[in-house]
Amino acid sequence: MNAETDTTEEAGARTIRMEVMRFRPGEDTEPVFQGYDVPLMADWAVLDGLNHIKDQLDGSLSYRWSCRMGVCGSCGMTVNGEPRLTCGTFLTEYGQGPVRIEPLKGFPVIKDLVVDIDDFLAKLSSVRPWLIREGEELPLTTEYAQTPAQLEAYKQYSMCINCTLCYSACPVYVLDPDFLGPAAIALAQRYNLDSRDMGDRFDVLNLDDAVWGCTFVGECTRVCPKHVDPAEAIQRYKLTAALRSVLPWSRR
């Protein structure tokens, strides 16, 4: 907090203080907070405040965003200690302020509020999050209709937008980045429970650092903006994997 600068708006307008974590690679050895006063508008999300800073006050600020409507999953940051999508978190939630914006915890910081999610992307692809089919020739022409019950079996887990808020909220992942983590396991379950899927993800999920690393803190579920409930997905697979270990002939 030693590099605080004051940037005051014109007098009269209501403002809110945003304390934004800055980290300039190659220059800073550790992050510092920088304060900005931005207009406190009823319809402004935290992301609007950041855009105001970037456009009007300090063009050097770096952060990720894209859709502004909670579907792209790029704008996750730590807002007053909580992992949130900044496009869906309103400045008025924080009253008089200040609002403290930090990058998502648990990931290396590339610059300012931008974190490196390569680790998550590698974990995600390791669970093969797609429909695995066997014995089919290209081009695929057959349709596979599903009943509403078959859709319901996995639909909740398919809502994930890969925003990584669950990783940031998970103390197991933050303490030990080898943990496969909530979203990857939830997405593995999304395909495990799909009637069209023919794959088997037991070998990647039944590992000490996969489902067995989870101690069911439940924070992933609490912070998930899409109500995926990764904690449930993990506990369900624990039961599946345990039953398969005890009864080797059972598949699910």
Partner 1 sequence: MTAGGSASSGASPGASPGASSGASQGAFVRTGAAGYRPGRDPLWFARTRTYTLFVLRELTSVFVAWSVVFTMMLVDAVLGGTLPDFAALAARPWMIAINVVALAATVFHAVTFLNLAPKATVVRLDGWRVPAWMIQGGNHSAWAVISAAIAYFVLRTP
Partner 2 sequence: MKRTLEPYLWLLFSGGGVLAAFLLPVLVLLFGVLMPLGVVDWPTAEHLSALLDNVLVRLALLVVAVLCLFHAAHRIRHTSEELLGIARFDLVVAVLCYGGAIAGGVITALLLF
Q: Do the bridges between strand 109-111 and strand 114-115 make them parallel or antiparallel, or are there none, so unpaired? A: antiparallel
Does 219 interact with partner 1 (rule: CB under 8 A)? yes
Written as one string, the DSSP assignment of 34-71 is: EEEEEE--TT-BHHHHHHHIIIII-TT-------SSSS
Residue with smaller CB distance to partner 2, 7 or 245:
245
Q: Which candidate, 1, 229, 180, places its Cα nearest to that of 100?
A: 1
DSSP-derived secondary structure letter, 115:
E
CA atoms within a 13 Å half-sphere pointing along the CA-CB vector of 13: 12
The only residue of 44, 57, 62, 195 in contact with partner 1, by rule CB under 8 A = 62
Helix, strand or coil, per DSSP, at residue 207: coil
Does 207 interact with partner 2 (rule: CB under 8 A)? yes
Stretch of 57-65, 185-193, 203-211, 221-229 contacting partner 2, by CB under 8 A: 203-211
Stretch of 52-60, 103-111, 136-144, 168-176 contacting partner 2, by CB under 8 A: 168-176
What string marks each residue from 116 to 135 as x (binds partner 1 by CB under 8 A) or -? xxx--x--------------
* Min CB(163)–partner 2 separation in Å: 24
- Cα of first residue to Cα of last residue in the chain, in angstroms, is 52
Interface with partner 2 (CB under 8 A), residue total 16
Does 3 interact with partner 1 (rule: CB under 8 A)? no
Residue with smaller CB distance to partner 1, 26 or 139:
26
DSSP-derived secondary structure letter, 103:
P
Does 60 interact with partner 1 (rule: CB under 8 A)? yes
Helix, strand or coil, per DSSP, at residue 19: strand
Which conformational region is residue 128 in: left (phi greater than 0), alpha (psi within -120 to 50 degrees), or beta? left
Applying CB under 8 A, the residues found at the interface with partner 2 are 171-172, 175-176, 203, 206-208, 212, 215, 238, 241-242, 244-246
Applying CB under 8 A, the residues found at the interface with partner 1 are 23-28, 30-31, 59-66, 72-74, 81-82, 105, 108-114, 116-118, 121, 149, 152, 161-163, 171, 174-175, 215-219, 222, 231-232, 235-236, 238-239
